[in-house]
Chain A
Amino acid sequence: MSPLLELTGLHAAYGPSAVLHGIDLQVAEGGIATLLGANGAGKTTTLRAICQMMVAVTGEIRFAGERIDRLETEAIVRRGVAHVPDGRGTFTDLTVEENLRLGAYTRRDRKAVTADFDRIYDHFPRLRERRGQQAGTLSGGEQQMLAISRALMLRPRLLLLDEPSFGLAPLVVRDIFAILRRINQADRVGILLVEQNASLALDLADHAYLLETGRIALAGPSAEIAGDEAVRRAYLGY
């Protein structure tokens, strides 16, 4: 079975400075992969390159077998790729409900959308409480839930997450990761997770890639990497 997401020889640059120097990466259908690395290694750049949010990108990006590296962001999203960016990217002046509705903007199946609203609110009851509130007034954890929910409203086949644990209390993070696992198992949504918190990420993911100054330094099943103490100490700091 061909992978859901496949990056081959991905290069990316911001103007004259090259950030990614040939990345090879795969996410299986319904699988969870995590991209780890220090700050500045190029993790966020990788996600942005996948969504064509950057200009100077070369290499192959295949989604469900189709090349998407020449498409516009909007077209990539319409094929079922949902990206939760770092900083969350919520529409702070719009209400919680409007944010969620926008997540489903490209969908035509109205009844299913309404059903999805209910499901999201079941996962995150706090969002239901605050549905009429301006998104900017929510706490950090709630905004992260909102950002992930908005992505889920797309009914994506692939979910790209950029540091979902950033700035959140450990209990909140634990809840969010539990929900991610549930969604992955129930709906077979593939996940590519960029994370600073390596232990959490390795716990959730099946596969791990270690990014070091724009190159994949290490790749393998996450259990192996988590189990290898030398690797953990050298690369992951624990």
Chain B
Amino acid sequence: MMQALLHQILSGLANGGIYASVALALVMIYQSTHHVNFAQGEMAMFSTYIAWALIQAGLPYWLAFFLTLGFSFAAGVAIERIVLRPVANAPVLSVVVVFIGLLVILNSLAGWIFSYMIKSFPSPFPSDAWYGSPYLSPHEVGMIAVTLAVLTLVFGFFRFTPLGLAMRAAAQNPASARLVGIRVGWMLAFGWGLAGAIGAVAGMMAAPTLYLDPNMMTGVVLYGFAAALLGGIDNAWGAAAGGFIVGVAENLAGAYLVGTELKLTVALAIIVGVLVVRPAGLFGRTLIVRV
């Protein structure tokens, strides 16, 4: 009984890593634009397809991985500069609609280019690796390691590099950032690029378990939303913590409460619950409830 519980918790942490990455990408975009990137999941899914295509073409896994990161970064920058610039100051509804438009375009583009047939995606962590155990498969260990690496790199970037500092400044106070010579528009674009790259990592880590099809990331991104809200949509640390909490909660709820068929309902419950009870989340500050 304890063994099963431990397994659920650890495995939940592994999934939580993916949710933490998605939540981090969402929070990054929210902090700089005050918008929720509804298309985050589809961007990650599309990146994963690119990786799949590269691997199919014969490239070794890690080369495909890093090339995909580069592509996803560039795509994120392009999306911000081309699709989102025209609605930079538009009302909320307009921006939401543009995000949804982006979502469905990416979804249908993936279906058209790569077909709707489910594909398998390799894991770089062999199933008989030494670091596997009865509690965590090698892939799950790998997921946690990769997530921690991503989180460390991203936090380190923002905390210790001049560009990271400039991006934080541009997100917090664009007018003042301009007055110190920061090109705020490009900071936004880089933020999107980073979010795209982080999303790609999440997608590539999730694909071996979820199998690759155009709707692969819908559930994952819902959990990403739940994690970001739970942690506090304006707090990057909160997003990461929220991801792990939500991952464990999903597994425990699935195993002991509602069964595995209602997992998305758990995400919905978390989202609605946070918004109604404590909109700022556990660690956030923004007042998002109004009149």
Q: Do A and B come from one complex?
A: yes
Interface residues of A (CB under 8 A from B): 51, 53, 72-74, 77-78, 82-83, 85, 89-94, 98, 101-103, 105-106, 150, 154
Q: Are B181 and A51 in contact (CB under 8 A)?
A: no
Q: Are A89 and B166 in contact (CB under 8 A)?
A: no
B-chain residues with CB within 8 Å of residue A92 when the two chains form the complex: 172-173
Q: Which of A85, A93, A102, A105 has the most CB of B within 10 A?
A: A102
**Measured between alpha carbons, how far is A106 from B165 in the docked complex, in Å?**
13
Q: Are A78 and B165 in contact (CB under 8 A)?
A: no
Q: How far is the CB of A87 from chain B (nearest CB, A)?
A: 10
Q: Are B183 and A74 in contact (CB under 8 A)?
A: yes
A-chain residues with CB within 8 Å of residue B172 when the two chains form the complex: 91-94
- What does DSSP make chain B's interface, helix, strand, loop or mixed? helix
Q: Is B182 an interface residue (CB 8 A)?
A: yes
Q: Are A73 and B169 in contact (CB under 8 A)?
A: no
Q: Are B176 and A106 in contact (CB under 8 A)?
A: no
B-chain residues with CB within 8 Å of residue A85 when the two chains form the complex: 175-176, 179
Can you spell out 18 A-B residue pairs with CB atoms less than 8 angstroms apart? Answer: A74-B178, A74-B181, A77-B178, A83-B179, A85-B176, A89-B173, A89-B179, A92-B173, A94-B165, A94-B172, A98-B169, A102-B165, A102-B180, A103-B180, A105-B180, A150-B180, A154-B180, A154-B181
**Measured between alpha carbons, how far is A89 from B174 in the docked complex, in Å?**
10
Would you list the 10 A-B pairs with minimal beta carbon distance, nearest first?
A106-B181, A89-B176, A77-B181, A73-B178, A102-B180, A78-B181, A105-B180, A74-B183, A83-B179, A74-B181
Q: Are A94 and B169 in contact (CB under 8 A)?
A: yes
Within 8 A of A (CB), among B137-195: 162, 165-166, 168-169, 172-173, 175-184
Q: Are A77 and B179 in contact (CB under 8 A)?
A: yes
Q: Are A106 and B179 in contact (CB under 8 A)?
A: no
**Measured between alpha carbons, how far is A46 from B173 in the docked complex, in Å?**
21
Q: Are A53 and B176 in contact (CB under 8 A)?
A: no
Q: Are B165 and A98 in contact (CB under 8 A)?
A: yes
Q: Are B180 and A77 in contact (CB under 8 A)?
A: yes
**Measured between alpha carbons, how far is A103 from B182 in the docked complex, in Å?**
10
**Measured between alpha carbons, how far is A92 from B176 in the docked complex, in Å?**
11
Q: Are A89 and B181 in contact (CB under 8 A)?
A: no
**Measured between alpha carbons, how far is A53 from B178 in the docked complex, in Å?**
9
Q: Are B181 and A105 in contact (CB under 8 A)?
A: yes
Q: Are B162 and A105 in contact (CB under 8 A)?
A: yes
Known: A85-B176, A89-B179, A102-B182. 16 other contacts (CB 8 A): A53-B178, A72-B178, A74-B181, A74-B183, A85-B175, A89-B173, A89-B176, A92-B172, A94-B169, A98-B165, A98-B169, A102-B165, A102-B166, A102-B177, A105-B162, A154-B181
**Measured between alpha carbons, how far is A93 from B169 in the docked complex, in Å?**
9
B-chain residues with CB within 8 Å of residue A150 when the two chains form the complex: 180
Q: Are A91 and B181 in contact (CB under 8 A)?
A: no
Partner of A105, one of B166, B173, B175: B166
Q: Are B176 and A91 in contact (CB under 8 A)?
A: yes
Residue in A closest to B163 when the chains form the complex, CB atoms: A105
A-chain residues with CB within 8 Å of residue B169 when the two chains form the complex: 91, 94, 98, 102
A-chain residues with CB within 8 Å of residue B173 when the two chains form the complex: 89, 91-92
Instruction: Given A101-B162, A102-B165, A105-B162, answer yes or no on A89-B175 (Cβ-Cβ < 8 Å).
Output: yes
Partner of B182, one of A53, A74, A82, A89: A74
Residue in A closest to B186 when the chains form the complex, CB atoms: A74
Q: Are B176 and A105 in contact (CB under 8 A)?
A: no
Q: Are A73 and B179 in contact (CB under 8 A)?
A: yes
Q: Which of A53, A77, A91, A106 has the most CB of B within 10 A?
A: A91
Q: Are B168 and A94 in contact (CB under 8 A)?
A: yes
Residue in B closest to A102 when the chains form the complex, CB atoms: B180
Q: How far is the CB of A99 from chain B (nearest CB, A)?
A: 9
**Measured between alpha carbons, how far is A173 from B172 in the docked complex, in Å?**
28
The 8 A CB mask of B193-217 against A (1 = contact, 0 = none) is 0000000000000000000000000
Q: How far is the CB of A22 from chain B (nearest CB, A)?
A: 26
**Measured between alpha carbons, how far is A29 from B115 in the docked complex, in Å?**
67
Q: How far is the CB of B40 from chain A (nearest CB, A)?
A: 24
**Measured between alpha carbons, how far is A92 from B169 in the docked complex, in Å?**
10
**Measured between alpha carbons, how far is A90 from B179 in the docked complex, in Å?**
11
**Measured between alpha carbons, how far is A78 from B180 in the docked complex, in Å?**
8
A-chain residues with CB within 8 Å of residue B178 when the two chains form the complex: 53, 72-74, 77
Q: How far is the CB of A116 from chain B (nearest CB, A)?
A: 14
Q: How far is the CB of B176 from chain A (nearest CB, A)?
A: 4
Q: How far is the CB of A222 from chain B (nearest CB, A)?
A: 27
Residue in B closest to A78 when the chains form the complex, CB atoms: B181
**Measured between alpha carbons, how far is A93 from B166 in the docked complex, in Å?**
13
**Measured between alpha carbons, how far is A94 from B162 in the docked complex, in Å?**
13
A-chain residues with CB within 8 Å of residue B165 when the two chains form the complex: 94, 98, 101-102
